[in-house]
Amino acid sequence: MTKSTILTGLRANNDLTIGNYFGAILPMIDMAKQKSTDYQINMFIPDLHSFTTPINHEELYDHIIHNARLFAAAGLPLDNDNIHIYRQSYIPAHSELTWILDCFTGFGEMSRMTQFKDKSGSIGSDRTSVGLFNYPVLMAADILLYNAEYIPVGDDQTQHLEFARDIAERMNTRFGDIFTVPKPVKEQHEFFGKDQGLRIKDLQDPSKKMSKSDESGKGVIFLGDDPSLAAKKIMSATTDDKAEIHYDKTNQPGISNLLEILALLRDVPKDQVVKEFEGQNLYGDFKRVVASEVESFLYEFQKRLAETNDYLIHAKLESSERAVSQTANATLLRAQQAVGLRPKELS
């Protein structure tokens, strides 16, 4: 691979939400289509990350393949040779490089990671794994193996990206030119040229984002939901007592969330939807419009998902894994040589 690499991935351990679809999957695919002429696009399924927190391991492999199907159903072009989609665990270099980087990473660095502190706090110390603690090092390996300069990240991952930059610079300073250092967060946002902070809110509690880890599921619309059930969730969404529709995320977060969802479903600017419903006072009628759009979207998406071609998906995964392994193994060898695990004359 001679082109610069853009790398992105989406965890594959349970059903995804419409928030994941509009906030992550579609932007990934749009970015891949737009930039694949000038860049190598690596879209990986981070299956090793999938059990840093407790999961049902009987279902993991099915979730991994389902993740690939979701990308295909959402429009990922499987015939584009500049776009790779691959499974993290099928490239052993991810695990091998992680161990090397571990040994140059401080315990204090990992202890200060906000996401670790948040997740371990909710799980409890007895169930918190070393894998969760170590997650940012594996993420750094995911990035550095492919000389990736650009990685679209949300706010919850910026600290991890900065660590990837730090460990790359640390290793390069000590051992010479091993890794390509990813661009800083500010340049990442400038490069991708879009709002990376899109967050569809929970239907029952619009103060928090719609999360696939929500236990009740009442405020979340999953891509696998029965369309009629999803419509009912919209109809029972929390709104307010203002009795007029306005886009006001502070005072009317529930209504504002539904306006944003409707704009995404219709693929039109938010202002267009706001103008259509601004000042109306029949919340039920408005909800029925949103519910109908949600139901239609899920019906059409699930139809496309059922029609995905598993043969083509597996063929794409396998060809991508062969291709990216060459770059990953070359980077791993440089690191192994640098730390003395391989003789330098091999290069």
pLDDT (0 to 100) of residue 268:
94
For position 32, what pLDDT does the model report? 93
Rg (CA), the chain: 22
Residue/partner pairs of 174-177 with CB below 8 Å, 24 or more apart: 174/104, 175/338, 175/339, 176/338
pLDDT along the chain (347 residues), means of 10: 83 79 90 94 93 87 92 94 96 98 94 80 74 92 97 84 96 96 91 68 90 76 95 95 92 95 94 94 94 97 96 97 97 97 81
Domains in the chain, ordered, with CATH?
Answer: 5-198+310-346 (3.40.50.620), 227-305 (1.10.240.10)
Note the pLDDT of residue 346: 60
**Tell me, what's the pLDDT at 115?**
78
pLDDT of residue 118: 75
The set of catalytic residues is 119, 209, 212
Amino acid at 45: I
Distances (CA, A) of 17 to 10, 118, 225, 233: 12, 21, 9, 13
So what's the pLDDT on residue 196?
Answer: 47
